[in-house]
Amino acid sequence: MTHGLFDVDGKVALVTGGTSGIGQMIARGLVEAGARVYVSSRKADACAAAEAETGAVGIPADLSSEDECVRLASEIGAREDRLHLLVNNAGATWGAPLEEFPAHAWDKVLDLNLKAPFFLTRAFLPLLEAAASVDDPGRVINIGSIDGLRVPEAPNYSYSASKAAVHQLTRVLARDLGPRRITVNAIAPGPFPSRMMRATLEEAGEEIAESAPLGRLGQPSDVVGATLFLAAAAGSYVTGAIIPVDGGIWTTR
């Protein structure tokens, strides 16, 4: 009964922002588990590097634009007749004091963090539905953040607001797409070594690790494990869930 519960061998997946950080961790983990994986990034050289490092196929796209979301779906649709898993991971952050926080920081962050997951999910619906069945639904995984579950310590107003909205969007889409045999869930990571977190971890990494009940930062296997659960048979009856992967920081502080 337990055989194949976490098997994604042969499935087709797209990981946006899959050329660095948590996205690259997920992309590499899916490739190692036997999936055929596409990744996207704004930069063609980043896509090429990710292909060499992870074995995924890179397609450059600026997903802050709806047109680019649609184009990415068309490009993958020209290569594949179905998509089993869409991981909406591409994101941006911005930190500045309240009095100095600029309007364009809201536009930049919400365009990529919130609007892109919506436009991508809509654009990929035909391919997700083509992959879906009653027992093995199509899967959408949105990458949120524990900063969308708690009040963050840093002044990242647009980032934390966008991630809270991603969690709510996840629930709404789970309701709407369930009848179409597609699950929609979110992973809310805590602190992981990544380009986005580099400056923060250089300044206070040890303190941040000690703040977690488990006493460490996240590592690739942590987020890959959560992804495999949601993408495979083990997660086929889970939808609308927001899963913190943070060593217990959010639930205990």
Strand partners, 16: 40
Angle between helices 21-32 and 220-231 (to 10 degrees): 60
Cβ–Cβ under 8 Å, residues 144 and 160: no
pLDDT at residue 195 tops 90:
no
Q: How many CA atoms lie within 13 A of 185 on its CB side?
A: 22
Q: What is the pLDDT of residue 197?
A: 67
Please give the C-alpha separations between residue 10 and each of 13, 84, 104, in angstroms, as whole numbers: 10, 10, 41
Supply the residues annotated as catalytic. 159
Share of the chain above pLDDT 90, in %: 87
Share of the chain above pLDDT 70, in %: 98
- Model-level pTM? 0.95
Q: What is the pLDDT of residue 211?
A: 85
Alpha carbons 124 and 163: distance in angstroms, whole number: 21
Q: What is the pLDDT of residue 46?
A: 95
Neighbours of 208 (CB within 10 A): 19
Alpha carbons 39 and 196: distance in angstroms, whole number: 18
Alpha carbons 133 and 9: distance in angstroms, whole number: 17
- The whole-angstrom distance between residue 120's C-alpha and the CA centroid of its chain comes to 12
Please give the C-alpha separations between residue 202 and each of 8, 209, 248, in angstroms, as whole numbers: 35, 12, 21
Strand partners, 229: none
**In 82-196, which ranges are E strands?**
85-88, 138-143, 182-189
Single out the residue of 143, 227, 142, 233 nearest to residue 189, CA to CA: 143
Alpha carbons 182 and 85: distance in angstroms, whole number: 10
Cβ–Cβ under 8 Å, residues 120 and 73: yes
Instruction: State mean pLDDT over 218-242.
Output: 97
Q: Which pLDDT band, with edges at 50, 70 and 90, does 93 fall under? A: very high
Model confidence over 131-175: pLDDT tens digits? 999 999 999 999 999 999 999 988 999 999 999 999 999 999 999
Cβ–Cβ under 8 Å, residues 39 and 19: yes
CA angle 2/226/139 to nearest 5° reads 85
Alpha carbons 145 and 164: distance in angstroms, whole number: 8
Q: Which pLDDT band, with edges at 50, 70 and 90, does 1 fall under? A: low
Model confidence over 171-194: pLDDT tens digits? 999 999 999 999 999 999 999 987
Model confidence over 35-53: pLDDT tens digits? 999 999 999 999 999 999 9
Q: Which domains does the chain have, with CATH numbers?
A: 12-245 (3.40.50.720)
- What's the DSSP call for residue 11? -
